[in-house]
Structure 1
Amino acid sequence: MNIEQKFFDTYMEIYRPYINRANRILSAYGLYSSQWLILKDIEKHGKTSSVDVSRRRGIEKPTATKVIKHLLELGFIESNPGEDRRIKHLTMTESGEALFVEVRAKMNELQREVLGDFEHEELEGLVDALGRIKL
């Protein structure tokens, strides 16, 4: 097996179990990892559009629309018309912000547990290396 295959095999061995553990935490809040990632994106960027969310997350617009609709139904985000009526701006609601703080703490705890054997410098190196992958 070449090193490239080994890299992607190793990545896949950790990706799914991590998502499963994350979903166990998120399910207590009626969320799944895909919804959490979009909620994180909206929290990070503030007022944004579904087009921008889908572009940044690398997902198809219909998929983003479906997830955003669910977050709207849960009352975690709201949609307001922009100057151009074709564009709707998404923002977090107060309940979405409160939920975000609570869930982020639990997710941070999971991530610290998963990465507990790594030194800070090792993690910085991994982040830098993964950031150089061209997809």
Structure 2
Amino acid sequence: MNKQSELFHSINQVSRHYSKILNENLVPLGIYSAQWSIIFLLKRDGALSQKEISNYLGVEAPTMTRTLIRMEKSGWIIRLPGKDKREKKIELTEAALNEYPVWLKVVRKTEDEVLHQVLDEEIDDLLKLTQKLKNNLG
């Protein structure tokens, strides 16, 4: 296998395994890693449209719709009118904001376990590389 193929295979495998471990740690708290990605994004950036969330996460619209419906039923998000009648902004509820520190603690613990023996400089290098890859994806 050439280096390029090995790199992308490795990225894919690490991502899958990390998502699996994160799910195992978050499910007892009532959320999945896919929902955490949305919660983290909304907490960081504030209210966003479904399209903005889908574009950022690289998730197809039908999948995003199903996830957001589940999150709405769980009481983690609400939909608010946007500038355009057709567009609604999605925002975290007070319940989600109250649970956020609990979820974040579990995520940080999982990250610490996965990053055990990884140096800060290595993290910086990987962040630079993934940013370049994201830029090339468009």
Task: Using structure 2 for the length normalisation, give the TM-score.
Answer: 0.89
CA change 1:4–1:80 in 2 (3 A) is same
Structure ranking higher in helix proportion: 2
Unaligned 5+ segments in structure 1 are none
Query: In the alignment, which residue of structure 2 is the partner of 1:26?
Result: 26
Query: In the alignment, which residue of structure 2 is the partner of 1:72?
Result: 72
- The 1-side partners of 2:83 and 2:122 are apart by 46
Query: In the alignment, which residue of structure 2 is the partner of 1:16?
Result: 16
1:8 CA displacement: 2.1
Deviation string 1:44-96 (CA, Å, 9 cap, x unpaired) is 21111111111111111221111111111111111111242211111111110
Structure 1 segments, 4+ long, off by >3 Å, are none
More contact order relative to length (CA 8 Å, sep ≥ 6):
2
- The 2-side partners of 1:64 and 1:12 are apart by 21
CA change 1:47–1:13 in 2 (3 A) is closer
Aligned pairs for 1:36-55 (under 5 A) are: 36-55=36-55
Unaligned 5+ segments in structure 2 are none
- The 2-side partners of 1:106 and 1:38 are apart by 16
The one-letter code matched in structure 2 to 1:103 is: W
CA RMSD across the alignment: 1.4
SS state at 1:107 partner:
helix
- The 1-side partners of 2:112 and 2:129 are apart by 20
Query: Identity of aligned pairs, percent?
Result: 27
